[in-house]
Amino acid sequence: MRRRPVAGVLPDQMEKANTKNPNSRLCFLASLSVFFWFLLLYFHFAVLRHQPTNPNPVVPITLQPQQPRKNLGFPEKISQPEKPTFPFDRALRTADNKSDPCGGRYIYVHDLPSRFNEDMLKHCRSLSLWTNMCKFTTNAGLGPPLENVNGVFSDTGWYATNQFTVDVIFSNRMKQYQCLTRDPSVAAAFFVPFYAGFDIARYLWGYNISMRDAASLDLVNWLMNRPEWKIMNGRDHFLVAGRITWDFRRLTEEESDWGNKLLFLPAAKNMSMLVVESSPWNANDFGIPYPTYFHPAKDDDVFTWQERMRRLERKWLFSFAGAPRPDNPKSIRGQIIEQCRRSKVGKLLECDFGESKCHSPSSIMQMFQGSLFCLQPQGDSYTRRSAFDSMLAGCIPVFFHPGSAYTQYTWHLPKNYTKYSVFIPEDDLRKRNVSIEERLSQIPEEEVRIMREEVIGLIPRLVYADPRSKLETLEDAFDVSVQAVIDKVTNLRKDIMEGRTDENFIEENSWKYALLDEGQREVGPHEWDPFFSKPKPGGDSDDLSAEAAKNSWKNEQRNQS
């Protein structure tokens, strides 16, 4: 059914209305939109541009780190994390005080009970089974004066010094040290005047291990209860023992084992122990020179002696003072003695038991003064006092094992051993029968002169000055040792402050670390590895057994009697 149109409206009119009205509306809406955008733009450019920015606009909330408020009108302070403090801060800062001649060099000396030192001297007859040590502890540990009968010595400064008296010599020299302090907060290092060598010497024969260990255990207990110990748990402490390290490294609790266990005690492992022979495989001991017969009281004593050694005529190409070791199949002393006997330019001073010129300081020094080269093989242990006696005489030492000097006395001798010595490996004699005379005669004369001058120049730092006086400008063996300890402790403290650690440190390679140049920290393969390749558990070695230490002690003690 069709729809009917609305009443009163014609069909053609209705069609016109349907076509006109939509266009009018569109025009109206477009105009309104343009007007709205005009107002919006006008409001933005003409009004808002001249209004201050709302300091607190409403923004969506987001989680951001809180920023510090700005202090308007003043420089903004930037917060820094607080640096950690250390109990040795003040000690390190003393080195920055250029007006203080002792800055960075102060030594604190522990006031030990007398049972650890002076009481031992009161009972000096008990310090050795074969030797009366009372005469050797006189004159501040230098022993009785030597008479210059044959003109071999100087008129003053020469003493019959026992090779095992460094304990008391060093302690008496420390009393004259110019930078002592009673304030532990400024101390660069802490000295423990314990006569460790004298202590063990009196108990080496015929005493059980409890007696041998008693004083060492008592000492560490005393130290660990001191506030000074807690600064670095003993790592800034040092003591001196005038014996070889093997006397303090008993490996077991067996009564038949040699020595005491001082250097294996946990507290002692933190300390530094200065000994006349150190272990290549342990990090808590350091080699210092054996005492010689010469103890100058002033610089001129040294200068006069050096000049005299330069002018001497040396008629022997090489010489050797010592005894054979027939019970030691590894010893090369037999070959050396035989070569000395056969050579027309070699001099031999045989040192067997009983009456011998080897027991006469003047005979030994006279031979060394007349020789260009002095042979220094191993004895029962790596080192010999004779090496220092020969260098004191201006004689160039010839070593056959790097453990006899090169890895021992790195504080006192040049690391470049070719500057002052000759090295002939033991196997060159033992297996290849190399001629010592031929090897030494091949060294050019000018090179020999340079080496001898180097040896003579080393004399001040190899001797211990008279503890009752003080050298003016020269540094002796004591001065060199103390400064080396201070440097060691200072570097350790700086490492702690800067967070550096030696995570790759291998204690069995201790001898290698001692040979590193300044700033080096890593070690690798070394040409001397075969010489130190057989350490036992605990740090000893096959060729340095308790029996070897025992024989060394016995032989050297008898030579002094």
CATH number at residue 312: 3.40.50.2000
Q: Quick check: 228 and 184 in contact, CB under 8 A?
A: yes
So what's the pLDDT on residue 192?
98
- How far is 69 from 50, CA to CA, in rounded Å? 28
Number of domains composing the chain = 2
215 and 267, same structural domain? yes
So what's the pLDDT on residue 416?
96
Tens of each residue's pLDDT in the chain, 561 residues: 433 444 444 444 444 444 445 566 666 666 767 666 666 666 555 554 544 444 444 444 343 444 444 444 455 555 566 677 899 999 999 999 999 999 999 999 999 999 999 999 999 999 988 889 999 999 999 999 999 988 999 999 999 999 999 999 999 999 999 999 999 999 999 999 999 999 999 999 989 999 999 999 999 999 999 999 999 999 999 999 999 999 999 999 999 999 999 999 999 999 999 999 999 999 999 999 999 999 999 999 999 999 999 999 999 999 999 988 888 888 999 999 999 999 999 999 988 755 566 778 999 999 999 999 999 999 889 999 999 999 999 999 999 999 999 999 999 999 999 999 999 999 999 988 899 999 999 999 999 999 999 999 999 999 999 999 989 999 999 999 999 999 999 999 999 999 988 788 999 999 999 999 877 888 999 999 999 986 544 444 434 445 556 665 555 544 443
So what's the pLDDT on residue 552?
57
Instruction: Return the CA Rg of the chain.
Output: 41
So what's the pLDDT on residue 4?
40
User: Containing domain of residue 326, as a range?
Assistant: 299-460
- How far is 238 from 453, CA to CA, in rounded Å? 33
* 202-233 burial: b if 16+ Cβ within 10 Å, else e: bbbeeeebeebbebbeebbebbeeeebbebbe
360 and 265, same structural domain? no
- How far is 237 from 220, CA to CA, in rounded Å? 11
User: Residue 479: which residues within 8 A CB-CB, separation 6 or more?
Assistant: 461
78 lies in a domain? no
Amino acid at 79: S
Q: What share of the chain is helix, strand, coil (3-state, %, to 5)?
A: 45, 10, 45
530 lies in a domain? no
390 lies in a domain? yes
User: Residue 539: which residues within 8 A CB-CB, separation 6 or more?
Assistant: 249, 279, 281, 282, 507, 508
487 and 400, same structural domain? no
253 and 281, same structural domain? yes
So what's the pLDDT on residue 133?
94
280 and 135, same structural domain? yes
CA distance to 16, 90, 92, 246, 259, per residue, from 493 (Å): 105, 12, 8, 29, 33
So what's the pLDDT on residue 129?
85
- How far is 501 from 186, CA to CA, in rounded Å? 24
480 and 443, same structural domain? no
252 and 228, same structural domain? yes
174 and 98, same structural domain? yes
334 and 231, same structural domain? no
60 lies in a domain? no
Spatial CA neighbour of 346 closest among 312, 372, 324, 383: 372
Where are the strands (E) in 207-327, listed by range? 237-244, 272-277, 285-287, 316-322
440 and 417, same structural domain? yes
319 lies in a domain? yes
225 lies in a domain? yes
39 lies in a domain? no
Alpha helical stretches, state H, 83-135: 89-93, 118-122
Amino acid at 152: V
441 and 492, same structural domain? no
219 and 339, same structural domain? no
Overall pTM surpassing 0.85 (yes/no): no
367 lies in a domain? yes
- How far is 116 from 10, CA to CA, in rounded Å? 139
So what's the pLDDT on residue 77?
56
So what's the pLDDT on residue 29?
66
So what's the pLDDT on residue 421?
98
